[in-house]
Amino acid sequence: MDMRKRFKKVLVANRGEIAIRIFRACSELGIRTVAVYSNEDKNSLFRVKADESYLIGRNKGPIEAYLSIDEIIELALKKGVDAIHPGYGFLSENPEFAKKCQEVGIEFIGPTYEMMVSLGDKIKSKKLAHSLGVPIVPGIERAISSVEEIMEFANSYGYPIMLKASAGGGGRGMRVVRSEDDLKRQFQSAKEEAKKAFGIDDIFVEKYLEKPKHIEVQILGDKYGNIVHLYERDCSIQRRHQKIIEFTPAFSISEELRQKICDDALKIGKAINYRGAGTVEFLLDRYGNHYFIEVNPRIQVEHTVTEMTTGIDIVQAQILIAEGYSLDSKEIGIKGQGDIQPRGYAIQCRVTTEDPLKNFIPDTGIIDQYRTGSGFGIRLDGGNGFTGSIIGPYYDSLLVKVTAWSRTFEDASRKLVRALKEVKIRGVKTNIPFLINVLNHKEFLSGKCDTGFITYNPELFN
Ligand code: ADP
């Protein structure tokens, strides 16, 4: 039986740049697009980039609007939507949402409910990795109820340790603890914070690695058990555990280690017959050991760099997979792992409306001039940047992602700096001067930066 079906209409349960990114993929596949928007996003650009758009969460707050599962599904049914793409953040890692879509016959563009349950929670996914022989950061892989359990762990492994919310994400819900006193102080508040931010107060503990590298692997699986990886990304340039600049390939690590990490990522994907696009994340210590930390069962902000080097449109692949196409179909065109042949180097930076001189506090206001950089090898994935647009305080401050591709890493970096220098934005502050400082930095160009790079180089802020 041919399980393939073509979607006529796709709703994107998200906003900003990723909504626009998904609309573009849909349009290229001949699919009609539906946007949903909150009161606060009435005048946002993504809304008019869709063929149809509808207000949701009329009486709800700016974030809650995009979490209105029942309202979004009801709307989708009413408007004859075939599938929903959740983007990243918001409902993208919510298994209940995937399940409810499935129950009413709307395709959820992502993994199945069961896969999301086994991967979405950091404790569960670490257990799975461990059972497959994939190294994990030493820790206690269960929800911890008493501070004594953690003390015991710290006594054998030593401080520093990290407390993590099992349901955490986006760099939130993590705390570094450097002593027993510190632990006593932080334990209860970490639990309370987890409850408030993620609805569940499960926290676990692991060894805190000093200045690791963050390396992650993009995987892609279809509904028939075929799965490939699209190689790795280096996302070590972070501030407060949030990625700022990402690139591929991670050229500072040995070919052997790179292959081992990609193989381990695939092992995890294969074990659960992973479907759709996903990212398997690892930390690397300075001795060349790699440790699995989590799987993100969704599209990621930094997917662009992988698209640039592999030539594969990951968002289109997600949609085609949901439609029932196999990886080796003419439409997706990946006959096997050997077909993935990355070329050159790609670097993405996240231009935000944050003021680097004021500790990156998000700036708000009206953009009264907006001019971007362009040219050969430059790609822009924009959100709400245009002359006259209002940058409010309600959502994350990502304005536009600028990605450069070139034959060498240095060329790609120079190209990115050149494109950033062409940008002229007036009315709100941006982090562009800071990004340029990073891209020009010798250590950045060596590819060897670790997650401590920004903290240990205060001159980047000038
Ligand atoms: P999130 O789900 O919020 O993105 P991750 O588990 O992916 O969180 O971790 C984000 C970042 O936090 C990592 O890239 C790394 O910089 C830091 N981190 C996480 N776990 C550890 C650890 N055990 N030791 C040191 N740094 C860590």
CA dist 319 and 229 (Å) reads: 17
How confident is the model over 61-81, as a mean pLDDT?
97
How do residues 301-325 score in pLDDT, each as one tens digit? 999 999 999 999 999 999 999 999 9
Q: Indicate the top mutation candidate among 164, 205, 241 to test ligand 1's pocket, ranked by most ligand atoms within 8 A of CB.
A: 241
Is pLDDT of 59 > 60? yes
The residue among 419 and 4 whose pLDDT is bigger is 419
Taking all residues of the chain, what is their mean pLDDT, rounded to a whole number?
A: 95
ipTM (interface pTM): 0.97
451 lines ligand 1 (CB under 6 A): yes
237 lines ligand 1 (CB under 6 A): no
Among 92, 49, 39, 73, CA closest to 395? 39
CA dist 293 and 287 (Å) reads: 17
Q: Which residue has the tokens 């946007």?
A: 35
> Was 206 annotated as part of a binding site?
yes
89 lines ligand 1 (CB under 6 A): no
Yes or no: say if 109 and 319 are a contact pair by the CB < 8 Å rule.
Answer: yes
CB atoms within 10 A of CB 207: 18
Is pLDDT of 199 > 90? no
CA dist 67 and 56 (Å) reads: 10
Yes or no: say if 397 and 353 are a contact pair by the CB < 8 Å rule.
Answer: yes
Active-site residue, 298 included: yes
CA dist 165 and 197 (Å) reads: 9
Yes or no: say if 29 and 98 are a contact pair by the CB < 8 Å rule.
Answer: no
Is pLDDT of 2 > 90? no
Is pLDDT of 31 > 70? yes
CA dist 217 and 134 (Å) reads: 14
How confident is the model over 377-390, as a mean pLDDT?
95
Confidence of residue 1 (pLDDT cuts 50, 70, 90): low
For the chain, the residue count is 462
Query: What's the gap in Å between 199 CA and the centre of ligand 1?
Result: 20
Is pLDDT of 120 > 80? no
> Was 441 annotated as part of a binding site?
no
pLDDT number for residue 169:
81
Among 345, 409, 415, 429, CA closest to 373? 415
Is pLDDT of 170 > 80? no
Query: What's the gap in Å between 241 CA and the centre of ligand 1?
Result: 6
Query: What's the gap in Å between 326 CA and the centre of ligand 1?
Result: 33
The SS3 assignment for 425 reads strand
Is pLDDT of 198 > 90? no
Task: Work out which ligand 1 atom sits closest to the CA atom of 281.
Answer: 7
How do residues 219-255 score in pLDDT, each as one tens digit? 999 999 999 999 999 999 999 999 999 999 999 999 9
How do residues 423-462 score in pLDDT, each as one tens digit? 999 999 999 999 999 999 999 999 999 999 999 998 898 7
